[in-house]
Amino acid sequence: MILIVDDDVAVRTSLGLLLKQAGYPAKSVATPEEALRIVQETPPRLVLMDMNFSLDTSGQDGLQLLAQVKQVAPQLPVILITGWGSITLAVEGMKAGAAEFVTKPWHNDSLLQTIRTILSLHEVETETDPAALSRRQLDKQYNFKNIVGQDARLLHVLRNVGQVATTDASVLIEGESGTGKELIAEAVHHNSHRRRQPFVKVNLGGISASLFESEMFGHRRGAFTDAKTDRVGRFELANGGTIFLDEIGELDLSSQVKLLRVLQDRTYEVLGDSKPRRLDIRVICATNRNLAEMVQQGRFREDLFYRINLITVRLPALRERPQDIPLLVQHFVDGLRATYNRPALKIGARAQHWLQEQPLPGNIRELKNLVERAVLVSGKDELGPEDFQAQFQRAPVRTAEPGELPEPGTMTLDELEAEMIRRTLEHYSGNISRVAKALGLSRGALYRRLEKYAIPFDAE
Ligand SMILES: Nc1ncnc2c1ncn2[C@@H]1O[C@H](COP(=O)(O)OP(=O)(O)OP(=O)(O)O)[C@@H](O)[C@H]1O
Ligand SMILES: [Mg+2]
């Protein structure tokens, strides 16, 4: 049974009808006292609660009832219904343990969607023993192709992903750069019922505030001066499927409001066309920033934060799971062996150990690049630590004072040369002609060395 708490009889009636038609038995009450009595006597599966009761419009009654319900039944999911104007209240409610909030006027479809999601999430949490599944068991249940690793922290993430994938819950993926956030976002989609629908990735870090609406919502020809043709927005492209909002921490405050509105109402308007359009979409966000901290600093909207983080997945850094490094290296080498048709290719045990000890701040992406470069540049079939050392971006010179040469025995001439090239590149902001001149090389000779050491550069 779903419990509806609202002092407005019209709301009670329409919600009651909606739930009944959707196959959920429901009970309606008008006061916090009655609500609390029912929660104690016949615990419902979910509570749908209005925040404002007639005598008091501050929402305090609602917050108080929420606190009491949570005390009696901590696991019982509560969805708050608030006016659009009182979103701060909703945020307070989320902090106090509400599962979700819905703003008035609600859309029947999205409200039902939210209810389904919350119910299935709740059932997932209470039914499964989270410690039980091994990697092999996980692979039997879900599709985690291409995601390598057995570390307990990673398995925890995969378990979560598997469980929430089938719901429509929004997922926030946090993790340092290169930890596999995009891979996890894809896994959520591939394990969901939307898997045959589009998965649209948007890098919010790459969209300027002035273009946000036109990129995301699309525009009609003539909507503004530069709108020469119609443009389909990313939301429309993703409709029916999943939208992956990458680098959400980079979004400026004005775009954050616009995004909140769509996620909230699941409707949007194409620029130059005032007809609102409905969206049926799963939202996954990722960031390598600490959003909670950004909220405290006033750089990220709190209401948007709660809108996107119904489920939060934190990816461990590679240094927290060094046992996975050999598996990952193996996986990358398997790929290279096939791609370059080099059946004898392998990584020696000493090299494996050496790799496990490196800090790898760029995480899995850095490891992958390192392996690829070492394989390509060395040309050998069995790679040793020295083949990786030569490719390693981290500069051992940093231990020396600027202007001093490193201690003998700490560095090879090749490493020294590579380091000097990197520094000169940085000094001249990548200007190849000036770098070549400063190093006393021809441009051709510099290019050969850049390739030899796999130093990234902008081709001129
Ligand atoms: N568990 C894993 N197993 C195999 N490959 C992985 C794994 N995690 C990440 N990778 C690979 O590492 C690279 C980086 O992963 P991904 O792009 O998902 O990271 P990210 O967290 O989104 O990074 P960024 O923050 O820089 O955008 C990709 O090539 C991806 O295929
Ligand atoms: Mg990424």
In this predicted model, what pLDDT tens digit does every residue of 271-316 receive, in sequence order?
998 899 999 999 999 999 999 999 999 999 999 999 999 899 999 9
- Co-location of 183 and 228 in the same domain: yes
- Co-location of 224 and 340 in the same domain: no
Quick one: pLDDT band at residue 401, thresholds 50, 70, 90?
low
Closest CA to 52 of 42, 64, 61: 61
- Co-location of 204 and 332 in the same domain: no
- Co-location of 95 and 205 in the same domain: no
In-domain check, residue 403? no
Domain final residue pick, 338, 366, 394: 394
In-domain check, residue 17? yes
Q: Which of 142, 245, 284, 365 to mutate to test the pocket of ligand 1 (most atoms within 8 A of CB)?
A: 365
Ligand 1 contact, 316 CB (< 6 A): no
pLDDT in tens, 326-344: 999 999 999 999 998 999 9
Q: Whose CA is nearest to atom 9 of ligand 1?
A: 180
pLDDT in tens, 290-301: 999 999 999 999
Domain final residue pick, 316, 337, 358: 316
| Structural domain total, the chain | 4
For residue 109, is pLDDT > 50? yes
Ligand 1 contact, 118 CB (< 6 A): no
Ligand 1 contact, 178 CB (< 6 A): yes
Q: Which of 288, 320, 364, 373 to mutate to test the pocket of ligand 1 (most atoms within 8 A of CB)?
A: 364
Q: Check residue 208 and give its pLDDT.
A: 86
Q: Check residue 308 and give its pLDDT.
A: 95
Which atom of ligand 1 is closest in space to residue 175's alpha carbon? 21
In-domain check, residue 399? no
pLDDT in tens, 116-137: 888 888 876 665 555 557 888 8
To the nearest whole number, what is the mean pLDDT of the chain? 88
Q: Which of 47-61, 149-163, 379-393, 438-452 has the highest mean pLDDT?
A: 149-163
Ligand 1 contact, 177 CB (< 6 A): yes
pLDDT in tens, 230-272: 999 999 999 999 999 999 999 999 999 999 999 988 899 999 9
- Co-location of 259 and 339 in the same domain: no
- Co-location of 285 and 246 in the same domain: yes
Q: Check residue 259 and give its pLDDT.
A: 96
Domain final residue pick, 284, 316, 348: 316
In-domain check, residue 344? yes
What CATH number does residue 368 fall under? Answer: 1.10.8.60
Q: Check residue 399 and give its pLDDT.
A: 43
Ligand 1 contact, 203 CB (< 6 A): no
- Co-location of 303 and 444 in the same domain: no
- Co-location of 324 and 425 in the same domain: no
Q: Which of 82-96, 114-128, 304-318, 391-405 has the highest mean pLDDT?
A: 304-318
What CATH number does residue 101 fall under? Answer: 3.40.50.2300
Q: Check residue 258 and give its pLDDT.
A: 95
Residue bearing the bigger pLDDT, 347 or 124: 347
Ligand 1 contact, 331 CB (< 6 A): yes
For residue 163, is pLDDT > 50? yes
pLDDT in tens, 1-21: 999 999 888 889 999 999 999
Structural domain boundaries, residue 449: 408-460
- Ligand 1 center to 246 CA (angstroms): 13
Q: Whose CA is nearest to atom 31 of ligand 1?
A: 183
Quick one: pLDDT band at residue 395, thresholds 50, 70, 90?
very low
In-domain check, residue 425? yes
- Co-location of 27 and 109 in the same domain: yes
In-domain check, residue 402? no
3-state secondary structure the chain: CEEEECCCHHHHHHHHHHHHHCCCCEEEECCHHHHHHHHHHCCCCEEEEECCECCECCCHHHHHHHHHHHHHCCCCCEEEEEEHHHHHHHHHHHHCCCCEEEEECCCHHHHHHHHHHHHHHHHHHHHCCCCCCCHHHHHHHCCCCCCCCCCHHHHHHHHHHHHHHCCCCCEEEECCCCCCHHHHHHHHHHCCCCCCCCEEEEEHHHCCHHHHHHHHHEECCCCCCCCCCCEECHHHHHCCCEEEEECHHHCCHHHHHHHHHHHHHCEECCECCCCCEECCCEEEEEECCCHHHHHHCCCCCHHHHHHHCCEEEECCCHHHCCCHHHHHHHHHHHHHHHHCCCCCCEECHHHHHHHHCCCCCCHHHHHHHHHHHHHHHHCCCEECHHHHHCCCCCCHHHHCCCCCCCCCCCCCHHHHHHHHHHHHHHHCCCCHHHHHHHHCCCHHHHHHHHHHCCCCCCCC
Structure tokens given for 391: 């490719």
Ligand 1 contact, 183 CB (< 6 A): yes
- Co-location of 164 and 311 in the same domain: yes
What CATH number does residue 425 fall under? Answer: 1.10.10.60
- Co-location of 218 and 90 in the same domain: no
For residue 430, is pLDDT > 50? yes
Q: Does the CA dihedral 235-238-244-246 come out positive or negative? A: negative
In-domain check, residue 232? yes
Residue 176: nearest ligand to its CA? 1
- Ligand 1 center to 230 CA (angstroms): 34
Q: Check residue 85 and give its pLDDT.
A: 66
What CATH number does residue 235 fall under? Answer: 3.40.50.300
Q: Check residue 72 and give its pLDDT.
A: 87
In-domain check, residue 11? yes
- Ligand 1 center to 282 CA (angstroms): 21
Q: Check residue 403 and give its pLDDT.
A: 62
- Co-location of 139 and 261 in the same domain: yes
